[in-house]
Chain A
Amino acid sequence: MKLDEITSTASRATREGFGAGLLELGRQNPNVVGLTADLMESLQMHHFQAAFPERFFQVGIAEANMMGIAAGLATGGKIPYTGTFANFSTGRVYDQIRQSIAYSHKNVKICASHAGVTLGEDGATHQILEDIGMMRMLPGMVVLNPCDFNQTKAATIAIAEYHGPVYLRFGRPAWPIFTPENQKFRIGKALHLTSGKDVTIFATGHLVWTSIEAAKELAAQGISCEVINIHTIKPLDEEAILDSVSKTRAVVVAEEHQRNGGLGDAIANLLVHQLPVPMEYVGVKDAFGESGKPTELLDKFGLGKKDVLWAVKDVLDRKRG
């Protein structure tokens, strides 16, 4: 697709895509059940709850218990979707996920909203920036971070077809919609958004749109970016990454996450073994978030369009040597 053909005319939160997807999935698959730890509407699970009250379990403010109950429901053949904030979906319940879900290979879908600094005013206690790292370290865990409403909806529906634990990460704010409605979501398949020859920008989640905007600005300056949407951080689409990098030989990775442990490290791990090239990270530099508006926070923590622009220029300088 040509870069200027990627446009957005509407914005909606990725968590709304999750809510819409779960409702649609509930109609398709009677084995799907929902659980929440007192955040039903924040996760937009009230649509599913209203339609299928007998298949929805409110567990109160008790995330550890929710993960255990979900593992038990999966043992009995159900496909549980747990819903709470990303912080409480990961760090708070890491051992429950590790033992009862990941090690036991239970078919639990851990659905995590309000990830990253775009949660906004609630501040660092709620803004997890380490969740991708924690989840991708667990053997066998699938880790997804779709980029907009449509893709989050599609991912929510698609993961029911995969048997095994999945971490599905999404966010709070309204965000530009630019991927097709009713798209087919394929776990582990990177999406090539636009071709370029100078640098590849691998982005995930909210920062895919940011990267497209940056690429448009760079195109006007004569820099040709290849933008690839890595909605699946694990398993990583190694073939797509190596194909692109062997052509551009310069990499920028953009994610709303710590530089430690996230998509950048996953790609670096691949490239350092197979195709070492200059690489830059757009991510949070070993810091906690803080209160503020999402756009202010993205800017302050180095996750804005300007940060992608700088990273591209830095990496191109290194490529030219």
Chain B
Amino acid sequence: MADISQLKELAAQVRRDIVRMVYNCQSGHPGGSLGCTEFFVALYGNVLKHKPKPFKMEGKGQDVFFLSNGHISPVWYSVLARSGYFEVKELNTFRKINSRLQGHPATHEGLPGVRIASGSLGQGISVAIGAALAKRLDQDKRWVFCLTGDGELEEGQCWEAIMAAAHHKVDNLVVTVDWNGQQIDGPTEQVMSLGNLPAKWKAFGWDVLILEEGNNLEAVIAMLKRAKRRTGKGKPVVILMKTQMGHGVDFMVGTHKWHGKAPNAEQFELAMKQLPETSLGDY
């Protein structure tokens, strides 16, 4: 397992990857990807027990992860590649013709690390529950993790799933909500207010944890470990993780305007100046 300085360097490199991938194909979603960089680096670098090669769809005896808000594929692809699931140079094919790195994650082209397609929102928690129930049936003691967006919680299916996870006492499941307060058309509180999110999850029967510093790597690692310790007690666990959309690139920070937009050449140069090169090297 990598030490914290190595993970910080990985996070720095992942941010460079995200911006370059989106710039190279002039499409994709940099804002949420940059905001969730610490989460992915913490998860894959420190928390998950996982085996990149050979990738096994069923993930028996391993922790498995599902990304519900599939549009933040750049951060996931970068972390998967740099965790050994596939070659880092393949990041260069993102969103291009004949690529395994589809705009939104898919199993269809056989990309290692991806267990289900996502992109049409609101489906990932349900899928994660199913995978967790399969582990329970198999007496597999490992965990299922899932990341969902906050705007995504406007989808009714999420609440069907949240209700069902508590009802079936799915206590080998840790869901994290990327609570960045932004969605395509504006701040969530303007588009469709989420209300008292912690109280809602609690009322639905979940063990609720709040992470104020979702862009602090040590804090994310500590919180994911804490969440794991809270499992096995008859309740599913949720982390409401406050992040900053666009974190790391000053002109992308905290605005929905960079949800799904690629930088132009000038903006790209500016962003790369703010994201230091690392010993890991660009793809």
Contacts and interface: CB of A to CB of B under 8 A. Distances in A.
Interface of A: 33, 54-55, 57, 59-60, 62, 64-78, 80, 95-96, 98-100, 103-106
B138 A68 contact: no
Size bracket, chain B contacts: 35 or more
B231 to A, nearest CB: 17
Contacts of A71: 116, 123, 126-127, 130
Task: Identify which of A66, A72, A106 gathers the most chain B CB atoms within 10 Å of its CB.
Answer: A72
Interface of A is mostly: helix
Given A71-B123, A96-B157, 12 more contacts: A33-B137, A60-B160, A62-B164, A68-B124, A72-B128, A74-B130, A76-B130, A76-B133, A77-B58, A78-B137, A104-B117, A105-B108
Contact of A73 (B133, B157, B161): B133
Contacts of A106: 116
B63 to A, nearest CB: 12
Interface string B93-131: 000000000000011100000011111101111111111
A59 B115 CA distance: 22
A54 B135 CA distance: 13
Contacts of B106: 103-104
Contacts of A80: 130
A54 B137 contact: yes
A64 B157 contact: yes
Contact of A57 (B59, B138, B168): B168
Nearest to B157: A64
A54 B58 CA distance: 20
B224 interface: no
B199 interface: no
A104 B110 CA distance: 10
Given A60-B164, A69-B130, A99 B117 contact: yes
A59 B165 CA distance: 10
B129 A69 contact: yes
B125 to A, nearest CB: 8
